[in-house]
Structure 1
């Protein structure tokens, strides 16, 4: 089998040929057809994440494919079933063994590319908005980085949950993409007065929930748009800087700063995570959410794929395909 593995944190992942894995008892083997490239994947590949796997390791947290072998005692899926899933690492490979409860069924009509990039961003966004942020119909949500993977998912899911969405993007070229995802209003985060624009759009009540996957200086500014009882959901630091704010703001606004970590949610509450991911899969099958695909590359052109995924101008997900 092929796998993109990290051998040193100061070097890009290398395409290795390894023996085909055999599913253990209670496992199924998936022949991977597509896998996503996320900010988390690129961060962990260069050793920049708070957790460093032991070297060498296979990168990748999102995938979709077909079950091609079933280990003894494994139930829930059969050979030929289409599936998708997520893991902390290991998905940038042509064959992957894992327990059935780590997978979700993919409907016959669903795109394999879209299914591959569902779990991490849409799982994170739904966990954030519904489970951590207790978003209610009619509330106003500010989504920062609204054309990034988590941001785009957040805009779509906030609309599904009945919220009014203000999308924050960088630059005019991304504004239409945010509107296409369902945003009710868009602000340019490069504008000096973007906080005032958000406040004007939110009205006297203020923003109820901020979905923040970018951090940096945007965190403090966005927190100041919250109304009384608002919730600021910290889902990442895609800006490259860890955000901070003055603690007294939480008292002044009666607002909460809430962390969102899908990896720990998976480890600590696996059954709850499966419910969230099941809801994501059902919404995708019903056509209510849809990932945007920017480009597809074979494993042999992974370097080009990584470069495109890291360009801030890129709108949509970059997908890797084993083989080629």
Structure 2
């Protein structure tokens, strides 16, 4: 089969389009014929050796795929060849076939296309875990979303609205904010690290945001935390800015606020049943049309490096996917 391979850690220019062999499925695994793979910010980190989990070389990036089951491991009973599925793989997805975890592979409703499934699993799976399990977001609360036009940001707008929250979308350009408005954001803010504290205060009548969803990090984090409401929940989701921030611990103390980590990879590994319930709910929302995946661009498998460059340049509105059958 063909795959995008990392044989040497580095940027997208180091990726190789080549033949690769998977071998038979291991216990607890399934082999999936990949139709589409989602592209996410962690893919830009794992190819550089900067992600929380690192596979041995050589490997393929790509943490989410949609396709059909080709083979199952000797102990797998929930799936059979031909089943339509979506799967969180952590890596390996930029390929014609991938060996996925059975516990994070999910049957795909007939109403959900492979393309849409590949565009929502990791982003919306992260967000439903963040807002439901970690923040316990309530109707009529204010949710401020930093990096609102990206993959997890757009998912936070969509799921936050479904959960009944008032959404403040924060992004860096007018075009990104216009995109967020079309998704249903209630309030728009073009931010810098210097104006986010005052803006969030002003936009909430001085109270501050009940929940802040931060996938950006860097210089924005402390200033945003200073604008959190009493008893608020600050969700640390990622660091697209490239800088992992730190904040004075007196800030959560003075606000009686929580600083809460969100790492979907840890969640689906350690709480597979709870994750499966979340993903089933997510797929029902996609099947019913309540969630509409926002696909910015589709690339062929051999052009996967171009997709990662676009992610690195923060030039994506919504999600990028790879057509692993278009070679």
The separation in 2 between residues aligned to 1:51 and 1:20, in whole angstroms, is 20
Following superposition of structure 1 onto structure 2, how do residues 107-256 of structure 1 map, counting pairs within 5 Å? 107-190=109-192, 192-256=194-258
TM-score by length of 1: 0.93
Is the alpha carbon distance of 1:25 and 1:45 closer, same or farther for their aligned partners in structure 2, counting shifts above 3 Å? closer
SS at match of 2:188: strand
Instruction: List gaps (5 residues or longer) in structure 1.
Output: none
The separation in 2 between residues aligned to 1:7 and 1:247, in whole angstroms, is 41
State the Cα deviation string for residues 54-79 of structure 1 (Å, max 9, x = none). 21122110110112334555323333
Determine if contact 1:31/1:94 at 8 Å carries over to the other structure: yes
The separation in 1 between residues aligned to 2:102 and 2:25, in whole angstroms, is 11
The separation in 1 between residues aligned to 2:248 and 2:28, in whole angstroms, is 49
Is the alpha carbon distance of 1:246 and 1:72 closer, same or farther for their aligned partners in structure 2, counting shifts above 3 Å? closer
The separation in 2 between residues aligned to 1:52 and 1:191, in whole angstroms, is 32
TM-score by length of 2: 0.93
State the Cα deviation string for residues 250-299 of structure 1 (Å, max 9, x = none). 12111111111111112222222222222211211121112211111111
More displaced stretch, 136-145 vs 239-248: 239-248
Is the alpha carbon distance of 1:202 and 1:35 closer, same or farther for their aligned partners in structure 2, counting shifts above 3 Å? same
Q: Which runs of 4+ in 1 moved over 6 A?
A: none
| RMSD over equivalenced CA pairs, Å | 1.9
- Give the deviation of 1:317 after TM superposition: 1.6
SS at match of 1:122: helix
Give the match for residue 7 of structure 2.
7
- Give the deviation of 1:99 after TM superposition: 4.7
State the Cα deviation string for residues 226-255 of structure 1 (Å, max 9, x = none). 111011000010011112222111121111
The separation in 2 between residues aligned to 1:300 and 1:99, in whole angstroms, is 25
- Give the deviation of 1:193 after TM superposition: 3.1
Determine if contact 1:266/1:273 at 8 Å carries over to the other structure: yes
The separation in 1 between residues aligned to 2:101 and 2:192, in whole angstroms, is 45
Determine if contact 1:21/1:97 at 8 Å carries over to the other structure: no
More displaced stretch, 14-23 vs 294-303: 14-23
The separation in 2 between residues aligned to 1:280 and 1:43, in whole angstroms, is 26
SS at match of 2:245: coil
Determine if contact 2:89/2:100 at 8 Å carries over to the other structure: no
